[in-house]
Structure 1
């Protein structure tokens, strides 16, 4: 579906960052919370791609939103950053990282209400045409949510249904590589290759592998890489999309990347998606946020070890 004009300014927004942040808060946060706005900003054909399987159409997004709000009536989200590319003439691609909090007072897919607090992080990469999100790739880790609610991995697997061997759809466009993106790609490739080289990460690099898995320094980064390799063997890394924003307004140079990582599980080849935000300074990665679905991997028999302390 193509919307004319493709930019967001004719629809009353100052730009792509204003657009994605305003509609997110209007849909999800009190006091203005209005999930019915999803019909305005998503279409009946909008696909949201996850390792758990695609969600298609505004009505599915509305139903999922209401289910989440029943679980966490005090739900509140804060947008941490939005990285974007594009123009008013061609439309935009946005990568929005946000953190939401809530108390499980309504019960979840994992079980009855626990009254436990949860902090959850997600990165949504969206194609925006006019005022409508026409396609989205969502990075999130439901197993982090389950852990915070005191469910173990086996309980989380039993409580959820995932389609087998899901492959997340590739974007239907090509991205233009940049020097900043190349640095992140090189850092990630060295990290996930032989030797788990962390040479392009600063000594004090802050890493969020999940809201309950945040660490500082290069040792946890190398441990995370070893954990993936222990579960999946040698890894193949591809970039599906990538773009960056220069420093400004108190923010560092930031790079958003949509990765495709492949390895071998107990039942054969496995491929999963990972969406990241990286901060760069002086030729090094100084902070990173990684979103991927550990529960989808667990459903395929791939149980990641306690890699951050390995």
Structure 2
């Protein structure tokens, strides 16, 4: 397969036998029974995948449902490699057995939770592997004792985005950004107590939050890079997305937002915010930078799919690094502490007629609060004073 085929999976699909015409399902308009049918023929080449799966979207939606909702947790053994790595906002998991244990613990605490697929964006093929970005809306009730403490009986709704790298039915790398702070607040729990606990666990393992050199947005005394690095883009809409993200987040040209978003756009943000209009979007992004005013924005991956609803949907996985030096929308962090912070986030955009009409943005404020607490513990420790 040529390099051009890798960059454009449609080329690879066209080269396959004519009887395999790829018609990959999309999530937004369909009920679960249509997304995971019992009698739909395979509509995408999936060499090495279990026979039950008809395309890559079916694979992600169905296996997630089987593991989390049907409680077939043992499917992790046939759907994750033994040495898989799962990157989360509060730490990483480095093997399959720990993924099994973590799944069990979460289901113990929230046995009524249901994770409903909101959309799945993807790229790739069964030879080189697939990359998927799965936006999930989770809801449930806190009825059991577990990692959230004594049951409160309260209900919650939160968003999660999980990005997976998959080859021959096995996930070998995954990034998960769950809005844990949204759950904690809706359950009426104290976020500071949870952050203290997570920070103490990391601190007792010898982990410290340390400055690791100058910020990548400003190298030495130079201004931000004039042009965005678009090398990870696969088409024009992805390249243009990377360009305006660089303008807004690294060059601080927040006025660019009004040129990119539709006047009636909707913003679906952390803590289950549902906001409307360009002014609201601008304030949310300006407010995030306000809390971390020296932040550098670094896209890690981007993919896109034409949308049955019209237009194109784009998924971006990104990192922000900087210091807690100001005030913004991250009110749970309190007074600026100077702590080094890293934000792992994922965003889905829906473009229609050349403008963004919907943005789903997920990052976890609990992770940031934990980093602040860890920095405070490190500063107060005897070893730090010596």
- Residue in structure 1 matched with residue 366 of structure 2 by the alignment: 295
CA-based RMSD of the aligned residues comes to 2.3
| Residue aligned with 1:115, SS | coil
Question: In 2, Cα distance between the equivalents of 1:298 and 1:211?
Answer: 14
Match of 1:28 among 68, 86, 98: 68
Structure 2 residue 312 is matched with structure 1 residue 274: no
Question: In 2, Cα distance between the equivalents of 1:75 and 1:271?
Answer: 29
- Residue in structure 1 matched with residue 381 of structure 2 by the alignment: none
- Residue in structure 1 matched with residue 236 of structure 2 by the alignment: 179
Match of 1:253 among 312, 315, 332: 312
Per the TM alignment, residue 289 of structure 1 is displaced from its structure 2 partner at its CA by 0.9
Deviation >4 Å, runs of 4+: none
Select the structure of larger CA radius of gyration.
2
Match of 2:86 among 21, 30, 48: 48
| Residue aligned with 1:43, SS | strand
Question: In 2, Cα distance between the equivalents of 1:41 and 1:300?
Answer: 32
Per the TM alignment, residue 85 of structure 1 is displaced from its structure 2 partner at its CA by 0.5
Q: 2:297–2:318: 8 Å Cα contact kept in structure 1?
A: yes
Greater RCO, 1 or 2 (C-alpha within 8 Å, sep 6+): 1
Q: 1:46–1:133: 8 Å Cα contact kept in structure 2?
A: yes
Gaps of 5+ in 2: 1-44, 203-207, 212-230, 325-336, 374-386
* Count of residues paired in the alignment: 287
- Residue in structure 2 matched with residue 305 of structure 1 by the alignment: none
Q: 2:305–2:314: 8 Å Cα contact kept in structure 1?
A: yes
Per the TM alignment, residue 160 of structure 1 is displaced from its structure 2 partner at its CA by 3.1
- Residue in structure 1 matched with residue 6 of structure 2 by the alignment: none
Moved more, 272-281 or 176-185: 176-185
Higher helix residue share: 2
| Residue aligned with 1:54, SS | strand
- Residue in structure 2 matched with residue 194 of structure 1 by the alignment: 252
- Residue in structure 2 matched with residue 15 of structure 1 by the alignment: 55
Gaps of 5+ in 1: 1-6, 168-173, 303-310
Question: In 2, Cα distance between the equivalents of 1:111 and 1:119?
Answer: 18
- Residue in structure 2 matched with residue 306 of structure 1 by the alignment: none
Match of 1:221 among 269, 276, 281: 281
TM-score (norm 1): 0.85
Moved more, 222-231 or 114-123: 222-231
